[in-house]
Amino acid sequence: MNVLVINCGSSSLKYQLINSDSKEVLAKGLCERIGIEGSAITNQSKGCDKITKEIPMPDHKKAVELVIEALTDEKTGAIKSLSEIDAVGHRVVHGGEKFAEAVLIDDDVIKAIEECNDLAPLHNPANLIGISACKALMPQVKMVAVFDTAFHQTMPSKAYLYGIPYEYYEKYRVRRYGFHGTSHSFVSKRTAEILGRDINNFKVIVCHLGNGASISAVLNGKCVDTSMGLTPLEGLIMGTRSGDIDPAIIEFICKKENISVEDMNTILNKKSGVLGLSGISSDFRDLLSASEEGNKRATDTLDTYSYHVAKYIGSYITAMNGVDAIVFTAGVGENNASVRKSVMEYFKYLGIEIDDEKNKIRGEEIEISTESSPIKVMVVPTNEELAICEETVALVK
Ligand code: AMP
């Protein structure tokens, strides 16, 4: 079965066409600057070079039209016609409390996603535009919504409630939701598989460390806690997001700098994290080289980052009353040996040891702890598109 996986942002659309039987990516690409001058589509079919075309894209419907054109291009397309797309899987950021799993999209589902719009005002409307554009162009094809929040819906109330008046939960559903759920689900299952463990009797902590970063505690296949909250701003220090701060800082800085809460929100999302702390970059490769060259702020930033990751891991070991495996994934987690090493230094008291040679290997499924380590430390590359493809197939078959 060929599944088109769509990840729509407000001005972008990422896609992959995946054969679910062979797990092969037949084509992948990106539409950028949708609705803005200078829009372009980049498509790469299996075995072919990347092709980028600058072409006006006033809206997402035009972008989906161009994706279909690229996929079915006579010379460079991965398929001959639209009829070779058997299903579409849409990434949807926020499913609120309405969706604890992926669903087949119908009018009621679209309405329910719309009702979650105020929880993710930048993302959900864009996801819905992508869904309606695909429905308009492929009315006969079954479509599935896969939510970033769904995997975390198993959290108990003690993990998702905030210590604020309960009426805000009752009136506005203000609570922890968590994000990157597709990745946490995929990586936790894959880790159990690799270790030959029954997921139903397995305690794993998944560290998804990318530009956005979150950690989750997965007990017997179910998420029991996660670091992102009502929005993706909470939790770890990220590329440009602050993660946890004292909420009183917001009013304090707004008054000092004479800026609005909206301005502060932008600063916390876009100008904070390791970028704000280091003043150098949100990219860990730049931070590592600056630190190696003796830049103290870069070194302090990396230390602060690792310390926060370690504190979350420690708290999740407590949440699950133990842990069998700790797993690193996403851009930083998969590639950055020194972050992994410095995080795991905090767990020597548990007897965890890292094999430095294995830890050097990048972007592969590998156990990086020594054989004698009582708790396994792993690297398992995430594959959110394949996970969306598999969830889609499970519903349309
Ligand atoms: P993601 O959001 O998962 O794409 O992750 C993006 C982050 O991964 C960026 O901050 C990069 O610094 C980091 N990253 C990607 N490749 C490497 C690498 N080879 N070494 C260190 N960090 C990397």
Rounded alpha-carbon distances, angstroms, from residue 152 to 95, 158, 184, 216, 221: 11, 13, 9, 9, 11
* Phi, psi for 334 (deg, rounded to 5): -85, -25
Q: Which residues contact 264 (CB under 8 A, 6 or more apart)?
A: 250, 253, 254
Q: Cβ(99) to ligand 1 under 6 A?
A: no
Could you tell me which of 397, 384, 395, 390 has the C-alpha nearest to residue 144? 395
Q: Is the CB of 281 under 6 A from ligand 1?
A: no
Q: Would you say the CB of residue 283 lies under 6 angstroms from ligand 1?
A: yes
Q: Which two tokens stand for residue 28?
A: 């992948």
Determine whether the shortest distance from the Cβ of 335 to ligand 1 is under 6 A: yes
In this structure, which residue's CA is closest to atom 10 in ligand 1? Answer: 283
Residue the block writes with tokens 């702020």: 297
Q: CA 148 to CA 204: how far, in whole Å?
A: 19
Strand arrangement, sheet containing 13-19: 51-54, 40-45, 24-32, 13-19, 2-8, 87-92, 142-147, 103-104
Instruction: Classify each residue of 316-351 as buried b or exposed e, where b means 16 or more C-beta atoms within 10 Å of its C-beta.
Output: bbebbeebbbbbbbbbbbbbbbebbebbbebbeebe
User: How far away, in angstroms, is 207 Cα from ligand 1 center?
Assistant: 14
Parts of the chain with a pLDDT under 70:
none
Burial readout 249-263 (b: 16 or more C-beta within 10 A, e: otherwise): eeeebbeeeeeeeee
Q: Would you tell me the crossing angle of helices 248-257 and 261-270 to the nearest 10 degrees?
A: 110
Please give the pLDDT value at position 42: 97
pLDDT for residue 121: 86
Tens digits of residue pLDDT in 258-302: 999 999 999 999 999 999 999 999 999 999 999 999 999 999 999
Residue for token pair 């995080």: 343
CA of 332 to the centre of ligand 1 (A): 4
Count of beta carbons in the 10 Å neighbourhood of residue 56: 14
Instruction: Note the Cα 285 to chain centre separation in Å.
Output: 20
Q: Report how far apart, in Å, the C-alpha atoms of 299 and of each of 208, 270, 347, 352 are.
A: 21, 21, 20, 24
> Which atom of ligand 1 is least distant from the CA of 212?
2
Q: What is the pLDDT of residue 43?
A: 97
- 107 is known as an active-site residue: no
Q: Which residue has 């119908």 as its token pair?
A: 106
Kind of pairing between the strands at 376-379 and 325-329? parallel
| CB of 210 closer than 6 angstroms to any ligand 1 atom | yes
Cα 211 to ligand 1 centre (Å)? 7
Question: For ligand 1, is residue 289 a contact (CB within 6 Å)?
Answer: no
**What is the structure's pLDDT at 9?**
84
How far is residue 54 from each of residues 13, 37, 41, 136, measured CA to CA in Å?
15, 10, 6, 24
> What's the pLDDT score for residue 233?
96
Which of these is catalytic: 49, 108, 148, 324? 148
In degrees rounded to 5, what are phi and psi of residue 130?
-60, -40
pLDDT of 363 reads 81
Instruction: Copy the structure tokens of residue 196.
Output: 């030959």
Instruction: Quote the distance between the C-alpha of residue 245 and its chain's center.
Output: 21
| pLDDT tens by residue, 348-391 | 999 999 999 999 988 899 999 999 999 999 999 999 999 999 99
Greatest CA separation for the chain:
61
